[in-house]
Amino acid sequence: MFDNLYTKLLKVHDPEAGTTVTTDLEPAISIDFSTRFVNSLQALQRALGIANMEPLAEGSTVKIYKWKSPNPTPAQVGEGETINLSEYKRELAATKTLTLNKYRRNTTAEAIQRSGQAIAINGADGELLKDIYKDVKKGFFTQIKAGTGTATGATGLQQAVANLWAALQTHFEDEEITPIFFVNPTDVATYLGDASITTQTAFGMQYLENFLGMGTAFITPQVAAGDVYATVVENINGYYVPANGAVAQSFGLTYDTTGLIGMKHYTRDDSASIGTLAMSGVLFVPEYIDGIFKSVISG
């Protein structure tokens, strides 16, 4: 008798047919935002020329190298004499640790009531994604700006890009390379003036393909006005901590087959709010720090 009464009471409190409940809502939001992140990141991956992102365990180290040659042009010797050695050493320049970064935010019932779900949850989560983008880009450009190569200074953007192109051709002589440049928006605007240009966007960054006929140019405030950096796509690698597997199962994260990001939305009854949890660990780094060159625009 009591079992039947309990069952009837539960049915009274069942949601009306067609009602959207949290179990329907939360995965849908998580899938939408994880898909947006992955699509944007893969667009950047293609623009940088990275064929595959390599999955590594959290805490793995990624090593950045440089070549050193104590005797790059040894003196030539006569017939029958011992030939002098050309020495080349691959030295460790830097070590980066791959970490699983965690992000969390809260949306209160009042915020949803006041602004609606589209703004309070979806809109704010969009801003959270932008901050995740910024963290990935900041780490990448820290490595780009640590490059040790230099090219001749220039009086304008075109000359700076040309000098960098020449430096890359010399450094990577006899190799098939695809140059890539990083330029401040102010320098691009000064050079192009009122010219109409068509840019593409990847991971929140604009880029121009075949810029001045020399390679792809990323337009970003991550580099200072007057500074232009360049490397080749063959020198850039991508790594990530998979946000699926044990991590996803333990925290109930939603993710796609790539595992580039894990995300979930959950209700917090104790504070009448909806929480957002995201985990991702993405790292773009150059393999050789001396394969990155910088030119300075003077005037």
Cβ atoms of 216 and 177 within 8 Å: the answer is no
Reduced to 3 states, what is the DSSP secondary structure of residue 51? coil
Confidence at residue 33, expressed as pLDDT on a 0 to 100 scale: 87
Domain ranges of the chain: 22-72+87-296
Closest CA to 44 of 201, 260, 234, 223: 201
What Cα–Cα distance (Å) separates residue 20 from each residue in 1, 8, 87, 172? 32, 22, 69, 58
Pairing of strands 101-108, 61-71: unpaired
Divide the 299 residues of the chain into consecutive groups of 10 and give the mean pLDDT of each group.
47 43 58 90 92 90 80 74 72 86 92 87 90 93 94 91 96 92 94 82 92 94 96 95 84 88 90 92 94 91
Cβ atoms of 30 and 264 within 8 Å: the answer is yes
Q: DSSP E strands: which ranges in 98-178?
A: 101-108, 149-150
Confidence at residue 227, expressed as pLDDT on a 0 to 100 scale: 97
Q: Which residues, including other chains, have CB under 8 Å from residue 103's CB and lie 6 or more apart?
A: 128, 131, 132, 276, 277, 278, 279, 280
Q: The tokens of 180 are what?
A: 């890539």
User: What fold does the segment set 22-72+87-296 form as a domain?
Assistant: phage-related protein like fold (3.90.1690)
